Structure 1
């Protein structure tokens, strides 16, 4: 049996069979570019498999060394990768700048960091493992652009239409380009060093040759746009780096805008942090001690068993212990099924996160019913959950040796849970204001009752809604 067969045999023990079949088929048959920066959500859509299934399978494949995982900081405007990282620990800049778009972005995990997967060279060697040898179009496809951009099959032909000239310039060499530059905005851009020079071409056409020199090095120095007139341009390029560069002269027009706005869903860091399989595999090795990464919107669900002390008194320690463990198992199963993850348990309480409020509501409704069914099965009708949900910004941090969250949103969610009584679910205004949440509640015939409450440690009163 080959090493590949052995690895996939082991993978079948932890990942869903259809996902393993898909991955094994891709490793054996797919073109090289399909195995570089694999987009979990796009793969799920193409194969008709569940997103959580595919994400889980890819994560287990990483653990076995079949795939490698990359955390890429990407520009929201052009989808270019600004920083590729093997770990979230090295995403440590408060802001990233895109030279191609001449724009800066605050580092958040919502849509600035995506997670992709590439086949390991021990399983199959592909061209992207040696990016120095990729031609221009494939370098853009497999290295520069993120998996969130929907690139056409004939990218090489499209790039020829969008650029006036392009050159593969080895380390230490120079090149001279003779161009006829049209009126408009041009961008001399190198995707290797992320260097850009904007050219503003306007005015009367000139019969004299214009000259411009650009040097590529590792220094990131902001430069002003160069003013030119339509006509002849002699562009001198020099590579002072220790690797090749791939400068091209782009025409900033509607066709370029159309290319850069072609998007497909991709796996964000926020989505992955709320995946149960990821937390099970990487809960203690995601962020560095002291590292803090901002999330603009995350939904927190807190649950607690009602009168668990009385339960122990009523049925005894052994029966109560078994009930509580079964309660944890059911809750984690439901939370994972609704695209959430259990962050931690505190006594009989659970803290979970979801990418969006509607998934938390869906989980809470199912959790409530599951506890009623469990109570009926075990003849414990008093087995009830108190639940609270809140959505807002927070910080992803490491606390007590594992990946956790910090901030006022977490505090409010915890305090809102304390307002719940018996079977009620208490949520904040931010949760019920979500359009998908309202649709879900209407579909389930649930009409939240509003009230204004004071929460400990919160200056102003908070509007909450009780879901009966």
Structure 2
């Protein structure tokens, strides 16, 4: 005789609104851990296995020594209103479980949170187990956890802000104190104090993947200074590097390496079942983890499919065969995509004020003439003409900017100074879709040697290198290499490159008016004015290891070098790609005189190439 289905429905009245509660309540990984559940393990499919549910994962764990294994269908959710999941058990006391959590807004600004659990016990033992675990324990435990989340939401805090009891390694406290003292000689003491406190007391999941930009935003600190703090802390023995390869679909860290030389261009995401090519400016992120001699911080999985594991996906819905799903969405303006696993057709749409309130999207591959739009508080109607159900994810196409990408980190002078051996494998090449390159050379350097003599001229050239390095460092770039009197530098964005180059030109042209940067030694010989030729170009490149250092190759590099050769000195030649950058365009309008022209470039078919020759309007100061 089949056991009856057990159904539990609990309701809590919370003070925070659904939008504030959603990031906390829908973080099912932390929720399961807060409930005291053990970590889960993904069970890989056996060779030739075809018995699993579509769009599901097989998971297992042990509770009180009892092995439990189940197939978990993909979560469905609609942020910030609801999420749910279904599990079909292969081993353990019960046969099936369905969970649905809903957050309904109240007129007073609060939230009514409803949690539904349906259990197919499958046996008398399963019925007893479910009654004890779900019926008695869960309601009280869930209530405590949701009320704690409500307190965090009202205070505007994230779960990462929670502190844990210190669990340092043997001797870890002494090492932390010694490393902090060393770090305080280099970095600002308040930041050092905050970092050491975080290493000591942050909860394990947060400490196991320290993201420097997220830390900086949480502290209200400068992002670059915080990143440099973490880099110096690694050298001081407080942290270790971790290079995370990010899946372009779920945007999760699918591989973590402690050495850049272990990163490969081709990568695979087991969760999404997709192959992809990692690039430096999006799919490789630098994070940090405490040095295990100070604290062992692990990040086990307690849930592998909840909404907060893919926060860029605002809705995920099962659309039945031949049916239409109606999704009342609440989206911020921008571009979105409706993606269905196994389908190459991924329609995109825009969310903008004043657009129609309803948008119909067919999932059958019918191309749209134009990218349609829907209002921020609108409705998506997803039609599935296929004979099978489709799992559709509605995702925001914009990536968050809180990742310290490999492109940014390797373009930082501090990183190159501290970790010069962090390079790619000799036979590996990884793309970067946009990087800014600066090429400089001294004008009439041969004449300088003959005019003031070899020794004074050489001293002046060395000083010029130090001035350039200091200006590049100050603006967040890095010197890649020197070639005779020439320099190649790299920046994540065009504007810092322009500012650094202008500052270097001024200091070299008028050493009497502009003091040498701090830390640059004054040469024994008189400071002779120097004219610096410079060019800036931005675009895609290949990153590879050359002469035991990270270097850049490709058309963008070649064009930048050619532009420097046509510079006349006392100016900066910039490409059209640099000039039209929004930040650069604003800077030029306010501070510079710009002469636009077209020039033929040798080795590029002598085709006309649009450039701008840039000079500061006021040469007496650096903007």
TM-score (norm 1): 0.71
The gaps in structure 1 that reach 5 residues or longer are: 152-157, 165-181, 186-195, 200-224, 230-250
Q: Distance in 2 between matches of 1:304 and 1:338?
A: 19
Is 1:443 the counterpart of 2:590 in the alignment? yes
Partner of 1:69: 241
Deviation at 1:5, TM superposition (A): 0.8
Partner of 1:265: 402
Q: Which has the higher helix share?
A: 1
Partner of 1:136: 303
Rate the CA distance shift 1:421–1:163 in 2: closer, same or farther, 3 A: closer
From 180, 183, 187, give the equivalent of 1:11: 183
SS of the aligned residue for 1:290 comes to coil
Q: Distance in 1 between matches of 2:267 and 2:542?
A: 15
For residues 254-275 of structure 1, the C-alpha deviation after alignment (integer angstroms, 9 at most, x for no partner) is 6xx58x9794521111001101
Rate the CA distance shift 1:15–1:184 in 2: closer, same or farther, 3 A: same
Is 1:53 the counterpart of 2:225 in the alignment? yes
Is 1:116 the counterpart of 2:253 in the alignment? no
SS of the aligned residue for 1:374 comes to coil
Partner of 2:72: none
From 574, 579, 583, give the equivalent of 1:427: 574
Partner of 1:298: 435
Q: Distance in 1 between matches of 2:436 and 2:389?
A: 51
From 83, 87, 92, give the equivalent of 2:264: 92
Deviates more, 1:27-36 or 1:287-296: 27-36
Partner of 1:107: 278
Partner of 1:287: 424
Q: Distance in 2 between matches of 1:126 and 1:379?
A: 55
For residues 367-400 of structure 1, the C-alpha deviation after alignment (integer angstroms, 9 at most, x for no partner) is 2222233255787564111101111111111111
Q: Distance in 2 between matches of 1:267 and 1:11?
A: 21
Q: Distance in 2 between matches of 1:360 and 1:349?
A: 16
The gaps in structure 2 that reach 5 residues or longer are: 1-172, 327-339, 344-385, 516-524, 616-623
Rate the CA distance shift 1:127–1:284 in 2: closer, same or farther, 3 A: closer
Q: Distance in 1 between matches of 2:325 and 2:402?
A: 32
SS of the aligned residue for 1:447 comes to strand
Q: Confirm or deny: 8 A CA contact 1:357 1:434 kept in the other structure.
A: yes
Q: Confirm or deny: 8 A CA contact 2:266 2:275 kept in the other structure.
A: no
Q: Confirm or deny: 8 A CA contact 2:239 2:289 kept in the other structure.
A: yes
For residues 125-183 of structure 1, the C-alpha deviation after alignment (integer angstroms, 9 at most, x for no partner) is 3342xx2xx5327x979xx959xx589xxxxxx9xx9899xxxxxxxxxxxxxxxxx99
Partner of 2:40: none
Rate the CA distance shift 1:96–1:461 in 2: closer, same or farther, 3 A: farther
Q: Confirm or deny: 8 A CA contact 2:278 2:430 kept in the other structure.
A: yes
For residues 260-316 of structure 1, the C-alpha deviation after alignment (integer angstroms, 9 at most, x for no partner) is 979452111100110111111223331111211111111110111222222222223
Rate the CA distance shift 1:63–1:226 in 2: closer, same or farther, 3 A: farther
Q: Confirm or deny: 8 A CA contact 1:362 1:440 kept in the other structure.
A: no
Is 1:36 the counterpart of 2:197 in the alignment? no
Q: Point out which structure has higher relative CO (alpha carbons under 8 A, 6+ apart).
A: 1
Is 1:277 the counterpart of 2:414 in the alignment? yes
Is 1:227 the counterpart of 2:373 in the alignment? no
Deviation at 1:416, TM superposition (A): 0.6
Partner of 1:192: none
Is 1:332 the counterpart of 2:494 in the alignment? no
Aligned length in residues: 373
- Rg larger for: 2
Q: Distance in 2 between matches of 1:120 and 1:226?
A: 53
SS of the aligned residue for 1:352 comes to strand
Deviates more, 1:394-403 or 1:369-378: 369-378
From 507, 511, 517, give the equivalent of 1:370: 507
Partner of 1:346: 483
Is 1:410 the counterpart of 2:557 in the alignment? yes
Q: Distance in 2 between matches of 1:309 and 1:391?
A: 30
Partner of 2:600: 454
Deviation at 1:350, TM superposition (A): 1.1
Q: Distance in 1 between matches of 2:189 and 2:389?
A: 60
Q: Distance in 2 between matches of 1:440 and 1:456?
A: 30
Q: Distance in 2 between matches of 1:86 and 1:30?
A: 21
Q: Confirm or deny: 8 A CA contact 1:81 1:145 kept in the other structure.
A: no
Partner of 1:307: 444
Deviation at 1:103, TM superposition (A): 5.4
